[in-house]
Structure 1
Amino acid sequence: MKTILPKVSIIIPTYNCAQYIELALLSALEQTYQNKEIIIIDDGSTDDTRAVLKKYIKNKDVNYIYQENQGVSQARNTGISVAQGSYVATLDADDTWSNTRLEKMIAFLEENDYDIAISNFYIVDEYRRRIKSNAAFPEGYTHPPVEKQYSSLLKEATAFALMVVKKDILIDVDCYDVSLKGEAEDYDLWLRLLSEKKKWGYYPEPLVEMMVRVGSLSKGYSKNRKAALKKIFNKQIPIIGNLKAYMYYRYHLGGYRLDMLIVSYREKNIAKINKHIFILMRSPIFSSTILLKKLIQFRRYV
């Protein structure tokens, strides 16, 4: 008797990514996994996105939805609201998948009874050249055991946009928080999922090419990021208490500013380097988070 495979809804939010989205869409269409639908949410693009996608819209597996610009979180939520699959897979408009990704990930989820899964990935530039020859997660990387997943996630985030997840658990936690304005919305979603005792698994094979565009990481200090992190950890107060929530907020804010300093250094942008050094050093709390971040990386799952 032939097993009926669960349906997967591939959600692709896009905003002014006309030069990239065709390859992303093709990588979704060319999946060896057959029981799928593709939902493209055009979040108010003003470039040639609609023209690029016109020839694919007639495909029975492709659902194109245009909405006024509301941000990536609302675009994903729109996709989830119309999704017919029992699983949701998120694909950004400038990323691409291996053609066996869904086949391998769904088998992995079903065999292990996971609620969520991510795979390893390569980082590429605008020309789809690999920035590093090795995959993003190091060889031998392991995710924490189920009983430590939530506490580990409080300490360190990962590439959550690569997830494949059961749709019903997304609905249970009200999907993405649009009030975060696209700042750390994936991290917030995962914290809420794992605080509800959901289980995630890591598939070590790199099945995605994630694009990092010039300037995409160097946005500098963001008041939106600060407000988002505060709101994210305020949600965790009922579980971890006020003090821990505050300390994790300061820790992640300091880590974000450290990351921005590293990006500025790589770009050799002296003005931004000085700016981020000043922000980091003007408060002892921010400086201490650098040391704390490094210590936690050495003791990730202890």
Structure 2
Amino acid sequence: MDPLVSMVMPVYNGEKFVVETINSILNQSYSNFEFIIVDDGSTDSTYALISSISDSRIKIIKNEENKGIAYSFNVGIANSKGKYIAHIGADDLAHNDRFKYQVDFLENNPMVGICGTQATFFGIKKGVSNMPLTHDEIASSIIFRSPMIHATIMGRSEIFRENQYFSTPTGEDWNLWYRLIPKTKFANLKQNLGSIRYHYESTTQKNLSKGLIVEREWRKKMLSDLGIKLKNNHETIFIECFSKCNFHRYYIFPFFSLTYIAIILIQGNFMKKIYPKRGFAITMMKRLGRCLIEWVRYIGGFFKKGLSHVDSV
């Protein structure tokens, strides 16, 4: 009998954390799975460590040279047998009931193709996720960020086989979700079933500068798909303020610019029909409100710092 779930995990020079990650998968309460580990040309002891673990569910694929995370995911998926494909980062952890919850959800919701969960962040960044739950919420928020935590994903194998990961400096998952939004339904479970480790040696941290460039170009692409081309000042406000709620250079709230951007985004989607109309409009209005809240926080902190400086003179 073929395994119902295929966990695919690329790893490159992950000797510090990979054994802990592997154990979090092998200790799943749901046992009908295979674990495909793709060693992406590691130069440390990663391959020796994963090879030393004796478990019949583990299948190791070794790239002779470093090919990148997208290539490694695609290779792992091509060699999988499961009805469902799951992902995890080689430095992250899975709750021991993760597979159980996700398989149950996907079996009972055949229209959903991709299922994620909530997660805890630990290491140099701490917190708990608040990812959107329904397809409309997920689709409508993708223009701002990746609305799924990649290390918690499980999806139907045919979707991943027909839609491969593209190689980019960062954000391979965001790119894939955007391409899949018109093709399948998404969902995030409300349960916290993963732990995402933030550390200075992670791929995300190493590629921060490249990631910002890719992120900027990716947002411009999404605007273009809506038939929108913003002028330079509005483009900057969209990327920095509307998308990231970053107001470090704005001492006066750019209300009219943000309102204009929200309106033309809604109008663009009304014409192009890329996102759910009602959900997208609601998301844009909520974003406008959040921008105002974040700006007030920034200005409050700015004046508080200024007053404390005056008091100390």
Question: TM-score normalized by structure 1?
Answer: 0.71
CA distance in 2, matches of 1:258, 1:235: 15
Q: 1:23 to 1:256 in 2, by over 3 A?
A: farther
**Contact kept in structure 2, 1:154 and 1:248, CA below 8 Å:** no
Q: Secondary structure at the match of 1:155?
A: coil
Q: Deviations over 1:18-53 (max 9, x none)?
A: 110001111111112121000101111111111211
- Structure 1 equivalent of residue 32 of structure 2: 35
**RMSD, matched Cα:** 3.8
Q: 1:110: how far off?
A: 1.5
Q: In structure 2, what residue type is equivalent to 1:118?
A: G
Q: 1:107 to 1:97 in 2, by over 3 A?
A: same
- Which consecutive residues of structure 2, in runs of 5 or more, have no partner in the other structure? 263-283, 292-313
| 1:200 partnered with 2:191 | no
Q: 1:143 to 1:44 in 2, by over 3 A?
A: same
- Which consecutive residues of structure 1, in runs of 5 or more, have no partner in the other structure? 263-276
Q: In structure 1, what residue type is equivalent to 2:28?
A: Q
Aligned residues: 259
Q: 1:251: how far off?
A: 6.6
CA distance in 2, matches of 1:251, 1:157: 19
Q: In structure 1, what residue type is equivalent to 2:186?
A: W
Q: Deviations over 1:224-249 (max 9, x none)?
A: 542465257537855x22538x9998
CA distance in 1, matches of 2:44, 2:241: 35
CA distance in 2, matches of 1:252, 1:21: 38
- Structure 2 equivalent of residue 62 of structure 1: 58
Q: Secondary structure at the match of 1:39?
A: strand
Matches within 5 A, 1:285-300: 296=287, 298=289
Q: 1:156 to 1:84 in 2, by over 3 A?
A: same
- The equivalent position to 2:142 in structure 1, one of 153, 157, 165, is 153
Q: 1:250 to 1:36 in 2, by over 3 A?
A: farther
- Structure 2 equivalent of residue 119 of structure 1: 117
- The equivalent position to 1:166 in structure 2, one of 156, 159, 165, is 156
CA distance in 1, matches of 2:188, 2:158: 20
Q: 1:86: how far off?
A: 1.3
Q: Deviations over 1:113-135 (max 9, x none)?
A: 22111111111228xxx934xx3
| 1:93 partnered with 2:90 | yes
Question: TM-score normalized by structure 2?
Answer: 0.69
| 1:131 partnered with 2:120 | no
Q: 1:220 to 1:40 in 2, by over 3 A?
A: closer
- The equivalent position to 1:105 in structure 2, one of 102, 105, 115, is 102
Q: Which is higher, the Rg of structure 1 or of structure 2?
A: 2
